[in-house]
């Protein structure tokens, strides 16, 4: 009998990352539709994503798209639930903060309720944001975080912290089989051009010949994981024996200024850098300790930043080129 996975992004999370699951040059639940006998139900309200990213799967008999927002209950028969809902870009999750926290609280309760009813395994996409502006470095899963409860990031940070609490309470009280992954900064092809996160911003700006906007002095750090590495880790966690919470991310740490300079060099050495004010509560540094993922899942990232950036830049170059052609701003290539 086929296993059924339910992947939902009622308000989409990890727009780039989830799309990649629909991109299928990588290991993905969608790829397993054909290869290992899974059926996939994809729930999405297209709040931040685009249908074109799953267009190629719509005719597959083992793939089903349901336009749904997880803040509303739904009844389905599934074996596994990947709960990826909620925008992850600060620009998008701060646009409608009440919706963000509803997705993380009500959406997570609805999905855990579903998991409880049908005895499905439930994976929560949590985040490095649960560590807030961290006082220990790198961040281990034992670190309890330094989060502002009333700031502009709180709808997401505190929302995900409650989501983790709900997962563990449903596990203790109702025996729901849970997995919790804490995802660090992730990037890759198919990110939205207006995603708002730093990698896509810098690439799009450099390709358009606009200044690269560095918030603050650019001394804050992040560690960037290529999406296919992340997907591999998530699949291993879902199908392994450990509940988590487990950090998944690339421990290679860069300042934002270093990232800007790398993109500048790779795309457009003449693109200027522009310094803008640092947003409130912007974490000063972030780097995952992935010891657990290494020992429990035998997982570690394989795509170095420069290689991942190259692939991501190629994808944006193609899409921005196509848009420009469609808008008539550059001449169409001769055929």
Binding pattern to ligand UDP, positions 47-86, x when CB under 6 A?
----------------------------------------
Helical spans, DSSP H, in the chain = 15-23, 31-35, 90-95, 97-102, 108-118, 154-174, 198-207, 227-239, 256-267, 291-292, 305-326
147 makes contact with ligand UDP (CB under 6 A) = no
Q: Which residues pair with 183 in a beta bridge?
A: 127, 248
Query: Which lies closer to ligand UDP via its Cβ, residue 76 or residue 152?
Result: 152
Of 148, 213, 255, 268, the one binding ligand UDP (CB under 6 A) is 213
Q: Which stretch binds ligand UDP (CB under 6 A): 44-52, 214-222, 247-255, 300-308?
A: 214-222
Query: Which lies closer to ligand UDP via its Cβ, residue 240 or residue 279?
Result: 279
Nearest-angstrom CA–CA distance, 138 and 71:
34
Q: Which residues pair with 225 in a beta bridge?
A: 186
Of 185, 223, 250, 312, the one binding ligand UDP (CB under 6 A) is 185
With beta carbons less than 8 A apart as the criterion, state whether 57 and 7 touch.
Answer: no
Q: Which stretch binds ligand UDP (CB under 6 A): 73-81, 194-202, 234-242, 318-326?
A: 194-202
With beta carbons less than 8 A apart as the criterion, state whether 49 and 16 touch.
Answer: no
What are the angstrom distances between the C-alpha of 238 and each of 14, 28, 34, 320?
17, 12, 19, 35
Q: Cβ 156 to ligand UDP, closest distance in Å?
A: 8
Which of 156, 170, 187, 226 is an active site residue?
Answer: 156
Q: Which stretch binds ligand UDP (CB under 6 A): 54-62, 167-175, 196-204, 227-235?
A: 196-204
Of 222, 236, 287, 292, the one binding ligand UDP (CB under 6 A) is 222
Q: Which residues pair with 44 in a beta bridge?
A: 9, 67
Nearest-angstrom CA–CA distance, 69 and 103:
8
Query: Which lies closer to ligand UDP via its Cβ, residue 90 or residue 233?
Result: 90
Of 45, 186, 201, 264, the one binding ligand UDP (CB under 6 A) is 201
93 is catalytic: no
Q: Cβ 104 to ligand UDP, closest distance in Å?
A: 15
- 328's enclosing H/E stretch is none
Q: Which stretch binds ligand UDP (CB under 6 A): 107-115, 138-146, 163-171, 210-218?
A: 210-218
Of 45, 220, 247, 261, the one binding ligand UDP (CB under 6 A) is 220
Nearest-angstrom CA–CA distance, 143 and 166:
19
Nearest-angstrom CA–CA distance, 100 and 88:
10
87 makes contact with ligand UDP (CB under 6 A) = no
With beta carbons less than 8 A apart as the criterion, state whether 100 and 86 touch.
Answer: yes
Distance of CA 211 to the CA centre of its chain: 26
Q: Binding to ligand UDP (CB under 6 A): which residues in 248-307?
A: 256, 279, 282
Binding interface with ligand UDP (CB under 6 A) = 90, 185, 197-198, 201, 213-215, 220, 222, 256, 279, 282
């Amino acid at each position: 009998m086929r296993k059924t996975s339910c992947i939902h992004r009622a308000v989409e999370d990890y727009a780039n990352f989830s799309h990649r699951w629909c991109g299928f040059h990588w290991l993905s639940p969608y790829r397993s539709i054909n290869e290992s006998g899974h059926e996939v139900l994809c729930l999405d309200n297209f709040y931040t994503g685009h249908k074109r990213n799953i267009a190629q799967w719509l005719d597959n008999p083992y793939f089903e798209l349901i336009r749904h927002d997880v803040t509303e209950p739904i009844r389905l028969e599934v074996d596994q639930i990947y709960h990826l809902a909620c925008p992850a870009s600060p620009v998008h999750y701060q646009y409608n903060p009440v919706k963000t926290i509803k997705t993380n609280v009500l959406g997570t309760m609805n999905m855990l309720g579903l998991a409880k009813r049908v005895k499905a395994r439930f994976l929560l996409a949590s985040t490095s944001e649960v560590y807030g502006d961290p006082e220990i470095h790198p961040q281990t899963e034992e670190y309890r975080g330094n989060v502002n409860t009333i700031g502009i990031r709180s709808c997401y940070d505190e929302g995900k912290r409650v989501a983790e609490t709900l997962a563990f309470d449903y596990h203790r009280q109702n025996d729901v089989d849970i997995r919790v992954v804490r995802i660090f900064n992730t990037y890759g092809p198919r990110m939205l051009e207006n995603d708002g996160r730093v990698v896509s911003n810098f690439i799009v700006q450099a390709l358009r010949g606009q200044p690269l906007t560095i918030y603050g002095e650019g001394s804050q750090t992040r560690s960037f994981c290529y999406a296919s590495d992340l997907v591999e880790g998530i699949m291993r966690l879902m199908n392994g024996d450990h509940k988590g919470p487990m950090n998944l991310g690339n421990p290679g740490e860069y300042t934002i200024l270093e990232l800007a300079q790398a993109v500048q060099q790779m795309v457009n050495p003449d693109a200027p850098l522009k310094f803008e004010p640092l947003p409130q509560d912007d974490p000063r540094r972030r780097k995952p300790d992935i010891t657990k993922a290494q020992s429990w899942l035998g997982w570690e990232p394989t795509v170095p930043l420069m290689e991942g950036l190259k692939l991501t830049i190629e994808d944006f170059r193609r899409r921005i080129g196509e848009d420009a052609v469609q808008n008539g701003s550059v001449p169409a290539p001769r055929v």
